[in-house]
Every structure is written in structure tokens, then in C-alpha cells.
């Protein structure tokens, strides 16, 4: 559990051929999928970077998992929650 009360898990990347459920890594050869190396396991949208695929998956498919301790507002990402706490509750 981190300082914001969220429970993040490490997302593992599996080779495309295994059909892993946590994210799919392509060949990175630049072919077919616009050169995307990482693909969302839910909707197959392609991304150049692993963290962008993970961020997409969290925002689009997993819903709001991070909540403000002060007002209860929910967020899909910890960086947005952190910005909210700074701006709305003057916490640095």
C-alpha cells in the first residue's frame, strides 16, 4: 500500500504468442501495428511504451481505484490524485 492508500500491483508483460492476460508485448519490428510493441489485453489497442499501455488499461478498463482521504473523490491514476490533493487540500 502506498502513501495515498492505493494498492498497486506490478504488471507483467508476456510475449505476444503466449496470450498473457496482463499485457501483450509484440515484436517491436515496426510492422503491422504502427510499430507498437505493447498491446492492451482487453481491447488490443497498441502502444509504444509499456507504461502508456498500463495507464490506458487502468483508465479505460479498471475504473477508479484511488480515492482522496479527505473528500473521497475517486481517480483512475495516482498522479492525478496527488495533483488533486495539492490543489484542493493544499497538501504538498
Structure confidence at residue 64 as a pLDDT band (50, 70, 90): confident
Residue 60's domain comprises 14-89
Residue 9 domain-assigned (yes or no): no
Residue 1 domain-assigned (yes or no): no
Q: Which residue's entry shows cell 497538501?
A: 91
Predicted pLDDT of residue 16: 42
27 pLDDT more than 60: no
**Nearest 10 degrees: CA dihedral of 11, 15, 21, 22?**
10
Instruction: Give the neighbor-by-neighbor strand order of the sheet with 24-25.
Output: 14-15, 24-25, 38-39, 46-47
Structure confidence at residue 79 as a pLDDT band (50, 70, 90): very high
User: pTM of the full predicted structure?
Assistant: 0.46
Residue 85 domain-assigned (yes or no): yes
Q: Tens of pLDDT along 35-56?
A: 889 999 989 999 999 999 998 9
Whichever domain contains 62, its CATH number is: 3.30.160.60
**Alpha-carbon span 64 to 77, nearest angstrom:** 8
Residue 83 domain-assigned (yes or no): yes
Amino acid at each position: 500500500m502506498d502513501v495515498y492508500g492505493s494498492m498497486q500491483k506490478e504488471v507483467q508483460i508476456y510475449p505476444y504468442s503466449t496470450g498473457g492476460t496482463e499485457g501483450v508485448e509484440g515484436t517491436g519490428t515496426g510492422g503491422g501495428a504502427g510499430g507498437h510493441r505493447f498491446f492492451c489485453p482487453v481491447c488490443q489497442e497498441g502502444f509504444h511504451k509499456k507504461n502508456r499501455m498500463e495507464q490506458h488499461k487502468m483508465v479505460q478498463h479498471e475504473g477508479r481505484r484511488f480515492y482522496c482521504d479527505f473528500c473521497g473523490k475517486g481517480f483512475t491514476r495516482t498522479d492525478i490524485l496527488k495533483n488533486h490533493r495539492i490543489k484542493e487540500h493544499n497538501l504538498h
